[in-house]
Amino acid sequence: MKTPTVNRAADMNRTVRANRALRTPGGLSLRLDPRAVLVVVLLLVAAGAAGVLLIGTGDAKIPAADVLRTLAGNGTAYQDFIVNELRLPRVLVGLLVGASLGLGGALFQSVSRNPLGSPDVLGLSQGSTAGALIVIVLMSGTAAQVTLGALIGGLATGCAIHLLAWKQGVHGYRLVLVGIGISAIATAVNGYLLTKADMVDAARAIVWMTGSLNGRDWDQVWPLLALCAVLVPVVLVGARGLRMMEMGDDVANALGVRVQRVRLVLMVSSVLLTAAATAAAGPVAFVALTAPQLARRLTRSPGPNLVPSLCMGAALLVAADWASQRAFGADQLPVGVVTGVLGGGYLLWLLVTERRAGRI
Amino acid sequence: MLVDSPPEQRAETAPAPPSRKAVRALGLLLSVAVLVLVALASIAIGAKALSPDQVWHGLFHDTGSYGDVVVDERVSRTVLGLLAGAALGLSGAVLQALTRNPLADPGLLGINAGASAAVVTAITYLGVTSLTGYVWFAFLGAAAVGALVWFLGGSRGATPVRLALAGTAISAALYGYLQAVMITDGAALGRMRFWTVGSLASATNSTILQVLPFLAAGTLLALGLARPLNAVAMGDDTARALGAHLGRTRGLAMLAATVLCGAATAACGPIVFVGLMVPHVVRSFTGPDLRWILPYATVLSPVLLLGADVIGRVVARPSELQVGIVTALIGGPVFIFLVRRRRTAQL
């Protein structure tokens, strides 16, 4: 996904001209790109709209207007139960998982300086899956235990990747390669566990492995929300040096970025975000890989595009779940199938158009 | 032997470079010897252990005794391991040279996924149940995806990044389809979960005969491409300046890799990591010359695959660990070690 230098320079010029700095009396200044702000607003609107539609979809259909009224607290008791107790948590989990995956993916891709450096490729998802499968197959655990297993699996994988890739600092390329190795090991463990399982456990494991929002309730919402509330600010503050790090470690060092420290903070945050998201909904394919790419294309701005990626992830996941519910009926096909197929299709389309434009 | 021979060779021919060549040729011979040993071990070791005598007897004086029957069974398994291993290693080496990407393997370019998706389709919708039936679908799927990746990657103007991206995109889309089928159809899940780990256990003579022509053709094509691929590895401009036909070489290399990998996947299921790992190991002692990498990969990949198969049979006796799982469990750490040791894995 390399744009020729000429194009990139033109992009830079355009964005530099379009940027407006927001200055506060205290001497702090914040650069604002009007296009990026517009994209973020539109994506938030899209995510909200998809969420409302998703709440209205199911065996009991509720018009969008009624959903909004019920969310505001003015619905009938029946609508209130369906919307607030049954479907709102599902949508919130979807939004939070999408946001975490989008942000985590953007961080990974930026830190590894590789569009393929997403949690799917690096083996975090597979590590979480291994954790969950161990609980499902060997312990026949409850849903809560599966979540815990996935979280532990994801964090352990993240630690392993980081430790193994560490050699007087973490180099982007080595990180991706080590991740691929870990990913293959975890995939083998998963395959082995699947062959050991009886049919019921195997079916349950496959559904979990695809990533699904079915039957998510408030118990999944709160931990994820708390984690996002802590980590998103940490990431956004910590990511100030990220844009300079994309120019290479040496340049970033010279510009006064503490490269290793920034990278460690960001890696830990993104591992936590991805592991928590995977624990809540299973390894939803491709959101972490696609969301940052889509966001970057919409904002047309260089750099990690963290906030647009976050919003894009949320909008993408909820819209995909809605599409799956509409097209195949309620709870028939998990959202992971849709994101996988759509994400793959999107990448193909991207390749064809980029090729036509002669940019890759 | 290794220590003594080079001086003799040097005396016969020109000074420094031929001696290196001789060392490499001897290394290749040594690799073949190791391969023979591993193949014999693969016949001897298993749930029923056989003595070397019994193996010899079963191989050359088949009288239909119990030991001889066991040898027969294990011979087809070993032969399939030899063929599939060589095919996977060779296709991995070709793909890495072609895409100039150390991460390239049949998995990354979506060829495994194509084969898997075709097999799932055959099992679920077309009612194919026998291995001999779905071998052809796996092959078709791998070839179709290979062609698609080649086309989307820009055919004549293909670049490493484009090929890798096209492969990732296609395999993700197919993976979604695979999951959808396995979720909605319990029977397909029951069969597929064993096929997708990759195993040599289902080897029969008819499987081997079916994939053999493809493997032979693919191997010859790949070995013949060593010299032009060497030029391609230097980068487009240099290769063109050296007179290489970039488009033709890439097309043929893609064809060879697809045929090899598709046939191997059809016969044993998707086995990861052999194609990724062996070329890396080989490159660490041959250097970047594909005229050496390709033969070495052809000989050493089956060593890995058969060795993994034997280990899988020993550790979980009397049941067994599928070879695809063992290769990944061995290959993963080795690969990480290589990544850590070398600067950054370069071609």
- The answer to whether A161 touches A281, Cβ cutoff 8 Å, is no
Look at residue A219 in the predicted model and tell me its pLDDT. 81
Look at residue B7 in the predicted model and tell me its pLDDT. 44
Report the CATH number that the domain containing residue A86 is assigned in CATH. Answer: 1.10.3470.10
- The answer to whether A91 touches A55, Cβ cutoff 8 Å, is yes
Q: Which residue has the higher pLDDT, B195 or A305?
A: A305
**Residues 6+ positions from B134 with CB-CB distance below 8 Å:** B118, B119, B122, B123, B128, B266
Look at residue A169 in the predicted model and tell me its pLDDT. 65
CATH architecture, domain B5-106+209-341: Orthogonal Bundle (1.10)
Q: Does B196 touch chain A (CB under 8 A)?
A: yes
pLDDT, chain B, mean: 78
Look at residue A256 in the predicted model and tell me its pLDDT. 84
Residue with tokens 């399982």: A197
**pLDDT below 70 — which residues of chain A?**
1-31, 116, 168-173, 330-331, 347, 350-351, 354-355, 357-360
How many residues would you count in chain A? 360
Task: Count CB neighbours of A184 within 10 A.
Answer: 25
Determine whether the interchain pair B173/A1 forms a contact, defined as Cβ–Cβ distance below 8 Å.
no
Beta-bridge partner residues of A23: A29
Q: Which residues of B touch A164 (CB under 8 A)?
A: 336, 340
Q: What kind and span of H or E run contains A20? A: strand A20-23
Q: Within a domain: residue A25?
A: no
**Residues 6+ positions from B16 with CB-CB distance below 8 Å:** none
State the best of A341, A346, A352 to mutate against chain B, taking most chain B CBs within 10 Å. A341
Domain extent listing, chain B: 5-106+209-341
Q: Does B170 touch chain A (CB under 8 A)?
A: yes
CA B157-B253-A185 angle, to 5 degrees, is 105
Look at residue B177 in the predicted model and tell me its pLDDT. 81
Q: What kind and span of H or E run contains A22? A: strand A20-23
Q: Is the dihedral of CA A174, A101, A338, A187 positive or negative?
A: positive
Q: Within a domain: residue A240?
A: yes
- Tell which A residues from 91 to 130 touch B, by Cβ distance under 8 Å: 115-116, 120-121
Query: Which own/partner pairs from B233-241 qualify as long-range (CB within 8 Å, at least 24 positions apart)?
Result: B233/B97, B233/B100, B233/B288, B233/B290, B233/B347, B235/B100
Look at residue B15 in the predicted model and tell me its pLDDT. 47
CA distance to A185, A319, B136, B307, per residue, from B330 (Å): 8, 41, 30, 10
- The answer to whether B265 touches B115, Cβ cutoff 8 Å, is yes
Measured CA to CA, the distance from residue B167 to residue B162 in angstroms comes to 8
Q: Within a domain: residue A267?
A: yes
How does pLDDT run across A162-171, given as a tens digit for each residue? 888 877 666 6
Look at residue A172 in the predicted model and tell me its pLDDT. 63
Determine whether the interchain pair A339/B328 forms a contact, defined as Cβ–Cβ distance below 8 Å.
no
**Helix axes B16-44 and B66-99, enclosed angle (nearest 10):** 140
Look at residue B10 in the predicted model and tell me its pLDDT. 41
Q: Read off the pLDDT of each residue in B270-283 and give the average, rounded to a whole number.
A: 82
Q: Does A167 touch chain B (CB under 8 A)?
A: yes
Here the ipTM equals: 0.70
Look at residue A101 in the predicted model and tell me its pLDDT. 92
Domain that holds residue A313: 5-11+39-356
Q: Which residues of A touch B175 (CB under 8 A)?
A: 285, 340, 344
Look at residue B108 in the predicted model and tell me its pLDDT. 67
Look at residue A167 in the predicted model and tell me its pLDDT. 74
Measured CA to CA, the distance from residue B79 to residue B75 in angstroms comes to 6
Joined together, the tokens standing for residue A255 give 């510009």
Report how many domains make up chain A.
1
Determine whether the interchain pair B179/A206 forms a contact, defined as Cβ–Cβ distance below 8 Å.
yes
Look at residue B343 in the predicted model and tell me its pLDDT. 52
Which chain B residue shows the shortest CA-CA distance from A345?
Answer: B173
